[in-house]
Structure 1
Amino acid sequence: MLSNLQTCPENLLEIIVALLSLDDIRNLRLTCRSLALKSSGYTLRKFFLNKHVDLTHDSLLGFARVCKNGGISTTVQNLYLTGSSAECEIQTWQANDANEARMGLLVQAFDSLANRKRDSKMKSITIRIAVFCDGIPLLRATARERRSHHVRECTKQTFSTVIRALASSNLRVETLNIFNDPDLRQHRPYIEDFYPNPQVMEVRKPDDSGSQQCTLPFDELNGVNWNDPGLAESLATLTSLSIGICTPDARAGPTEELSEENKDLPRINEVLETSSMEAPTDCGAMSRLLQLCPLLKDFELHYFHVRLRTRGATVGDITCENIMQRLAELEGLPFLDTCRLRGICARGEDVLGFIKRTKVRELSMETIKLSGLKYQSVFNYCTAEAANMTKFYFDNLYEMERREPVNRRRVHFLGEGRRRTEWMPPEVGNEILEREGRSVKRPIVYHMALPMCGGTPAHAEWRRFHLAEYGFG
């Protein structure tokens, strides 16, 4: 059998190797030199394209040694850096000496990767954290755990460590994902999950909508020195940026302190007015980040609204509006191939200005609350010939009317699209519209209506997803 494998052409042996596990490939390579050479093709190398590293001292020490000695540093393309929210790790994060040592090891690893790569460039870096539940690390957290002090502290320190290490190293990055990993994104529930087509044998099952990714408090971006020449050099090659941010940490309270009392409208208005006065004055950190990315082609922004302690009202609208305003006013915005906005609250003028100035070709807007300029202006631009748009996806869009008792009305598309509430009459319309190709240029017909509630399983599942993904329902 061994002699037969030795005489196999390399392309045939590559097919055989593709069917084996990593342990079986290792055993095959140990049999003889000729098979070791023949089985060293793409199938083997792809096992080492991705590297997952925990941001603990022991893990980083081993990673730095491996990178220094060669090994995976010549093959790894996608690096996943995961912080740990375990209590013992939080105590270690807060020790300055240990934190500096951890960052130093990461800088060593980055420099070793840069020295062994063409153009000193890494294909992608993903920053995320693992939340410990009963001693088990999970990459998704429940709402209660997500707003705990340990998780927030871990998120901030993980981000700070990686960004400082990038600034101090020679490594360049093509794709940067900051707490918005698409592999961890929940399945968005649709009617078909509960009322499947009889002709379709496989039915999608929604994930646990009580869990969510952990996002970065926006004020942490203000703590970064965006003028650092080392950081500018590392991000100068960036073509894709995906970031998940949330309400500034100063206004976030633990879930245990949230109260369901005092839900009357005057108290909620009082909370919103207070949060407006307390909003941070500097919301330009995101625009300064984009200024460092002249080659950017793909941009995704996800905003999670954290609740005020003891109030039961969500905040962050003013902060998010200011972020979009600064982005729309930024000089030298890059031209984007794709843009995805999720969970943001913004003025219509700013959203339209950002889309126009970046000349987006593929646009996705999901759970957007718009004030000022209406969606009609956005839709008219997207369907115009001058926009040169090839694809768009609109989902769960709202217009805010502050003077009305019920100040949120939802866009319902007429004649096409998809909906989640199966009991709604067809004339009400659909919440989702997706077009691609020549159909993009057709006029969009829609009307505004109050969000409709119901007690169906589909609606309940959607509401759980909505609260977990964006912080408001």
Structure 2
Amino acid sequence: MSQKTVHLTTSALKSWIEEVEAGEPVYQLFLVGIHDEDGEIRLREPPATREELVNLLTQAFNGLVKGGETPLSYLGLRIDSLGLSGHQIQIKTELESRSTSKSAWQCSIDTFFVAMQALAASKLQVEKLNLFNDDDMKLFALPSDQLNIIDWDNPDICHILAALKTLRVNISTPVYAFRQIGSEGGSPDWLGRVTELTASQIRTEIEKESNFDGLAKLIAKCPQLEDFEYRWLGIPLPGLKELQGLKFPGWKILYLLTQLPNLPKLRRCTFQHLITRDTDVLEFLKRTQPDQVFFGPMWLDAGKYQPIFEYCSSKEANMTKLFAKGPLYQLAQPDLGQVHFQRQEYKGDAQCSPHLRREGDAVQRPIHFHIDPQGFVEPGSTHCDVILDEGVVGTF
């Protein structure tokens, strides 16, 4: 199977167009947007406009369609600063420089827009679509409000999504402040960011429906969807005194998914780093009936894990795989704390694990766990935003 990585620059796209016209097959494609680290890196060539990139990418996609390479097996979107992506993530410095970088924010938006517009213009269908959801893209998520820069009712957009079977998305809080560069005005917050908005304007912005309904609009156009992965990146709101205690209601995104009149039946469902509610998780699982479920780290802003675990281990759900990767938290009093799984009914000296891994007949065994209030970590802290431990040792 032919795999190709193409940087979204004029020279790289022109070179790829020549390869496509020469008949080189491509089944797995990675499109990489390029940014300059807020001016800290000198780009090798002047950046092209959105229109120029859309036109060039459309030419390449038209060549794939003419060559009979449709649908495209896999399309993954990434961003890079001239080869620097993929390096080892350092939690504090990366949270500060990546999720608050204006050039990275703009690059993810432009890459998404250019790719979707070129797909629509060429009518190139895709079977698997990955929007910035690789492990080294954790902090390069697409802001939730920017999903709506695409007209999901456009017939050409509907056509390219009609064959989509796998969707993996990495979505973040809308960004209202960026790291301070040089002598910019304004008082920087604890992440070194400045904002041009007032507290009142930000309060108005975070309640807009367009922050939450983009993913539902996208899913509604994917009738063949089988594999859905949703990763969330919570970026703190600007550190203005008037905003203390205010949280972005990201749970509304999953809630609006559950309100769709039609949802596809899933083979696999994955939730990572979500701050959500038990009712929305449960409703989504019941309506999509996935065979395999993977979730965590995850925070329940309202509700408890008990009904979720009871459903996942029930005959009604009939799941064949259930993996829960800790930490899993309940945020509401009086049941605030971290989930600890155990092999049997809880006793003071019981062996516990933050992870659960079940397959086959074992999925329907009762799930024993307790809530440890001492293990609670505040959501939005640096530790919670980036969980680097990929192991699932000690699972039950």
TM over 0.5: yes
Residue matched to 2:217: 288
| Structure 2 residue 81 is matched with structure 1 residue 137 | no
User: What one-letter code is carried by the residue in structure 2 that aligns with 1:83?
Assistant: G
Distance 2:121 2:101 in 1: 31
- Give the corresponding residue for 1:247: 173
Structure 1 position 434 matched with structure 2 position 354: no
In structure 2, what is the equivalent of residue 21 of structure 1? none
Contact 2:225 2:264 in 1 (8 A): yes
The alpha carbon displacement at 1:311 in A equals 5.3
CA distance in 2, matches of 1:66, 1:323: 40
Q: Report the secondary structure of 1:172's partner residue.
A: coil
Residues 114 and 277 of structure 1, relative CA distance in 2, 3 Å threshold: closer
Q: From the superposition, tell whether residues 464 and 400 of structure 1 become closer, same or farther in structure 2 (CA, over 3 Å).
A: closer
Distance 1:314 1:103 in 2: 41
Cα distance between partner residues in 1 of 2:146 and 2:322: 31
- State the Cα distance separating 1:427 from its structure 2 match: 3.3
Residue matched to 1:409: 337
Q: Deviations over 1:24-67 (max 9, x none)?
A: xxxxxxxxxxxxxxxxxxxxxx5xx1101000011111111221
TM-score normalised by structure 2 residue count: 0.81
Q: Deviations over 1:225-279 (max 9, x none)?
A: 1011111111110000001011112x34327833289xxxxxxxxx9xx758833
Asked if 1 retains the 8 angstrom alpha-carbon contact of 2:226 and 2:265, the reply is yes
Alignment of structure 1 residues 96-245 onto 2, 5 Å:
98-117=49-68, 120-132=70-82, 137-139=84-86, 142-146=94-98, 147-182=100-135, 184=136, 212-245=138-171
Alignment of 1:335 onto 2:265: yes
1:367-414 C-alpha deviation (Å, 9 max, x unpaired): 21113332111111111111111111112211121x56xx84111112
Measure the CA separation in 2 of the matches of 1:338 and 1:380. 18
What is the alpha-carbon distance in structure 2 between the residues aligned to residue 376 and residue 328 of structure 1?
20
- 2:195 counterpart residue number: none
Aligned to 1:56: 9
Q: 2:31 aligns with which of 74, 81, 90?
A: 81
- CA 1:397–1:316: 2 relative to 1, 3 Å: farther
In structure 2, relative to structure 1, the CA distance for the partners of 1:235 and 1:90 (3 Å cut) is farther
**CA RMSD, 1 decimal:** 3.1
| Equivalent position of 2:185 in the other structure | none
1:360 corresponds, among 290, 294, 304, to 290
Distance 2:305 2:317 in 1: 16
Alignment TM-score, normalising by the size of structure 1: 0.69
Return the letter of the residue paired with 1:138. S
State the distance in 2 between where 1:315 and 1:222 align: 28
CA 1:248–1:277: 2 relative to 1, 3 Å: closer
Distance 1:315 1:397, change over 3 A: farther
- How many residue pairs match? The answer is 356
- 5 Å-filtered alignment, 1:369-408, equals 369-395=299-325, 396-401=327-332, 408=336
The letter of the residue matching 1:289 is L
Separation (CA, whole Å) in 2 of partners of 1:360 and 1:451 = 33
| Alpha-carbon distance between aligned partners in 2 of 1:253 and 1:315, rounded to the nearest angstrom | 20
Q: 1:113 aligns to what SS in structure 2?
A: helix
Deviations 1:270-317 (A, max 9, x none): x9xx75883332321101100111000000000001122335999996
Q: Is the CA contact 2:291–2:320 (under 8 Å) kept in the aligned structure 1?
A: yes
Residue 366 (structure 2) aligns with = 443
Greater Cα radius of gyration, structure 1 or 2 = 1
Q: Is the 8 A contact 1:411 1:431 kept in 2?
A: yes
Corresponding residue for 1:349?
Answer: 279
Q: 1:299 maps to which residue?
A: 228
CA distance in 2, matches of 1:398, 1:246: 19
- Residue 385 of structure 1 aligns to a residue whose secondary structure is coil
Structure 1 gaps, min length 5? 1-45, 186-211, 262-270, 417-424, 455-462
Q: C-alpha deviations, 1:167-219, integer Å up to 9, x for none?
A: 1112110000000025x37xxxxxxxxxxxxxxxxxxxxxxxxxx44111111
Q: Structure 2: state its 5+ residue gaps.
A: 182-187, 193-198, 389-396
1:345: Cα distance to partner? 1.4
Amino acid at match of 2:95: A
Would the aligned equivalents of 2:336 and 2:376 in 1 still touch at CA under 8 Å?
no
Distance 1:130 1:54, change over 3 A: same
Pairwise CA distance, 1:358? 0.2
User: Against the structure 1 CA distance between its residues 316 and 302, is the aligned structure 2 distance closer, same or farther, given a 3 Å change threshold?
Assistant: farther
